[in-house]
C-alpha cells in the first residue's frame, strides 16, 4: 500500500537573496522602519513601492499581519461600533475577528458549492442589514463573479474590502485580486504566497484612506519616509484626528519578502502545476466533487479543496483517518470543534448567531489540503491516488450498506 511521507507544513527555504538582505539589516541594526541612515531608503518603503507596482495600486502600506491589515482598513473607512459589516460565512477567524475588534457586527453571507460568496444571498443580506461595508474573503483562493459583486455593491453604496490572504497574484478577467474594492489586504504569514512568518500588506487608490491607514499603523508623523503614499497635504487633513494603532512591518521582514516578490511569477506556475496534478488525479472519483475554476479566474493553487457532497460526518471522518494513515493530511471544515486553521461561522460566538443551511451543507463535506512548494508533481500524483483510493473504498462500503 502506497504511503506519502513528506510534511504538509514544510515551506521552502527563504531565497539566498532574502537571507543576504536580512543579514545586512541585522548587521546594521536598523530594524525599525523609520530608523534609517542619511540617504538610506528603508527596506519596508521599498517593499511597499514594489508591491504597489505588483498590484497596480497607487498606495501600499506594509503592516504586522494580514489580520492587522483588515482591521486597519475598517478603521481607515471609519467603521463605527455597532455598524453591520457583511462577510462570507466560509472564511477564517481573523476576518470576523477584525470586524468584531472595531466593535462592528459581522453578518454572514452564504457560500455556494463553488466555495464563493452567494451573490443572491449577498443582495438579500445587504437589503436586510443596511450594511455599508463588505469584507469579502477570497477564501482558499476562490474568486466569485467580481463584476456582478461590484455592481451589487456599487448600487447600494457598499465599500468592498478584499481579504486577499489566499489570492495574492490571482485575478478576475485580468484585474488583480485586491483591485476591485476600495482596499485590498494581503498576508505574508508562513503558509501564504510570500513568507515572512507574519506580515501583511494593504493597497488602495484612495488617498485619504491611505493616509489614515499609514497614520493608524503608527507613523509618528514620519509619513514622508513612505514612497507608495499620498502627498504631505493629504496627511495634513487627517493627522490630528487619526489615532495610532501601531502595527508596522519592520525592515527585517521586508528584506526577506522583496526577493520572494521578485520571484513570484515562477512560483505561481509551480503551484499551479501541483494543483493540476492533484486535480487530474481526483477527476472522476465516485462521490467526490472537484471545485471548478471559471475561465475568467486566474488562480494561484497553493491549496486544493474538494467536496464529499451529502456524506454523513462518520463517513467523512473515516476518509480523513484512512488518508492520514497513509500520510495524506486533509483538513475538514465540517468538524464540530475548531481545529488549527479550520473553523466555521457558528464557532465565532462573538457574532450574532445565524442559520445558514446552504453553508452548513457545503462545509459538512468540505475537505482541504495544502500544496507547499516542497512537493513535486509526482508527490501530488501520489497523494491524489491515495485520496482517490480511500474515498472510493468508503463510498463503495456506503453503497453496499
* Number of domains forming the structure of the chain: 2
Q: Does residue 330 form part of some domain?
A: yes
Residue 337 lies in a domain: yes
pLDDT at 338: 80
| pLDDT attached to residue 241 | 97
Residue 179: half-sphere exposure toward Cβ, Cα within 13 Å:
19
pLDDT of residue 401: 62
Domain co-membership, 192 together with 299: no
- pLDDT on residue 399: 76
Instruction: Note the pLDDT of residue 337.
Output: 83
List residues bridging with 186 in a β-sheet. Answer: 201
pLDDT value of residue 336: 84
Same domain, 302 and 257: no
Q: Does residue 208 fall inside a structural domain?
A: yes
Q: Is residue 348 part of a domain?
A: yes
Question: 345 and 320, same structural domain?
Answer: yes
Domain of 354?
A: 264-400
| 186 & 273 share domain | no
Say what the pLDDT of residue 335 is. Answer: 87
**Where residue 389 sits, what CATH number does that domain have?**
3.90.1150.10
Q: Across 177-310, where does the E strand assignment appear?
A: 183-187, 200-204, 289-290, 297-298, 303-307
Asked if 280 and 244 sit in the same domain, the reply is: no
Is 273 found in the same domain as 162? no
The answer as to whether 180 is a domain residue is yes
Judge if 248 and 285 occupy the same domain.
no
DSSP character for 139?
G
Residue at a domain's end among 239, 262, 285: 262
Q: Would you state the pLDDT for residue 84?
A: 98
Report if residue 1 sits inside a domain.
no
The reply to whether 294 and 174 lie within a common domain is no
* Domain end (from 243, 262, 281): 262
Question: Count of CB atoms within 10 A of residue 363's CB?
Answer: 22
Residue 101 lies in a domain: yes
pLDDT digit string, tens, across residues 320-348: 999 999 999 999 999 888 877 788 899 99
> Average pLDDT for consecutive 10-residue bins of the chain (401 residues)?
96 97 98 97 98 98 98 98 98 96 98 98 98 98 98 98 98 98 98 98 98 97 97 97 98 98 98 98 97 98 97 96 98 86 88 95 97 98 98 90 62
The answer to whether residues 217 and 240 belong to one domain is yes
The CATH number that applies at residue 211 is: 3.40.640.10
Contact 181, 160 (CB under 8 A): yes
- Helix, strand, or coil here: 227? coil
CA 65 from centre of chain: 11
Predicted structure pTM score:
0.96
Residues 307 and 232 placed together within one structural domain of the fold: no
Q: Do 87 and 222 share a domain, yes or no?
A: yes
If asked whether residues 200 and 288 sit together in one domain, one would say no
Domain boundary among 262, 296, 320: 262
Q: pLDDT tens, 141-178? A: 999 999 999 999 999 999 999 999 999 999 999 999 99
Amino acid at each position: 500500500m502506497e504511503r506519502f511521507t513528506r510534511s504538509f507544513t514544510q515551506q521552502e527555504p527563504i531565497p539566498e537573496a532574502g537571507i543576504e538582505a536580512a543579514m545586512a539589516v541585522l548587521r546594521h541594526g536598523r530594524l525599525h522602519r523609520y530608523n534609517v541612515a542619511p540617504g538610506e531608503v528603508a527596506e519596508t518603503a521599498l517593499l511597499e513601492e514594489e508591491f504597489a507596482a505588483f498590484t497596480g495600486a497607487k498606495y501600499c502600506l506594509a503592516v504586522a499581519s494580514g489580520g492587522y491589515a483588515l482591521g486597519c482598513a475598517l478603521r481607515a473607512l471609519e467603521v463605527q461600533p455597532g455598524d453591520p459589516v457583511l462577510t462570507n460565512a466560509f472564511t477564517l477567524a481573523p476576518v470576523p475577528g477584525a470586524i468584531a475588534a472595531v466593535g462592528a457586527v459581522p453578518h454572514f453571507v452564504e457560500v455556494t458549492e463553488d466555495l464563493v460568496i452567494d451573490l443572491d444571498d449577498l443582495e438579500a443580506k445587504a437589503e436586510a442589514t443596511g450594511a455599508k461595508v463588505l469584507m469579502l474573503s477570497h477564501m482558499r483562493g476562490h474568486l466569485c463573479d467580481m463584476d456582478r459583486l461590484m455592481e451589487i455593491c456599487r448600487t447600494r453604496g457598499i465599500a468592498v474590502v478584499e481579504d486577499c490572504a489566499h489570492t495574492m497574484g490571482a485575478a478576475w478577467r485580468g484585474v488583480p485580486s485586491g483591485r476591485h474594492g476600495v482596499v485590498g489586504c494581503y498576508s505574508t504569514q508562513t503558509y501564504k504566497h510570500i513568507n515572512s512568518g507574519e506580515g501583511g500588506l494593504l493597497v488602495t487608490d484612495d488617498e485619504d484612506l491611505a493616509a489614515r491607514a499609514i497614520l493608524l499603523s503608527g507613523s509618528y508623523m514620519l509619513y514622508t519616509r513612505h514612497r507608495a503614499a499620498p502627498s504631505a497635504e493629504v496627511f495634513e487633513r487627517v493627522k490630528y484626528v487619526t489615532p495610532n494603532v501601531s502595527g508596522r512591518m519592520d525592515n527585517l521582514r521586508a528584506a526577506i519578502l522583496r526577493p520572494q516578490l521578485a520571484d513570484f511569477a515562477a512560483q505561481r506556475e509551480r503551484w499551479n502545476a501541483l494543483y493540476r496534478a492533484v486535480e487530474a488525479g481526483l477527476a472522476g472519483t465516485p462521490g467526490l466533487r472537484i471545485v471548478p475554476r471559471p475561465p475568467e479566474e486566474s488562480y494561484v493553487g497553493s491549496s486544493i479543496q474538494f467536496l464529499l457532497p451529502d456524506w454523513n460526518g462518520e463517513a467523512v471522518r473515516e476518509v480523513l483517518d484512512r488518508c492520514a494513515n497513509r500520510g495524506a493530511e486533509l483538513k475538514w471544515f465540517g468538524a464540530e470543534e475548531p481545529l488549527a486553521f479550520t473553523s466555521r461561522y457558528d464557532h465565532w460566538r462573538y457574532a450574532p448567531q445565524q442559520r445558514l443551511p446552504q453553508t452548513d451543507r457545503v462545509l459538512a463535506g468540505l475537505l482541504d489540503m495544502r500544496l507547499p512548494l516542497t512537493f513535486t508533481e509526482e508527490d501530488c500524483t501520489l497523494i491524489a491516488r491515495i485520496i482517490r483510493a480511500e474515498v472510493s473504498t468508503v463510498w463503495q462500503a456506503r453503497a453496499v450498506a
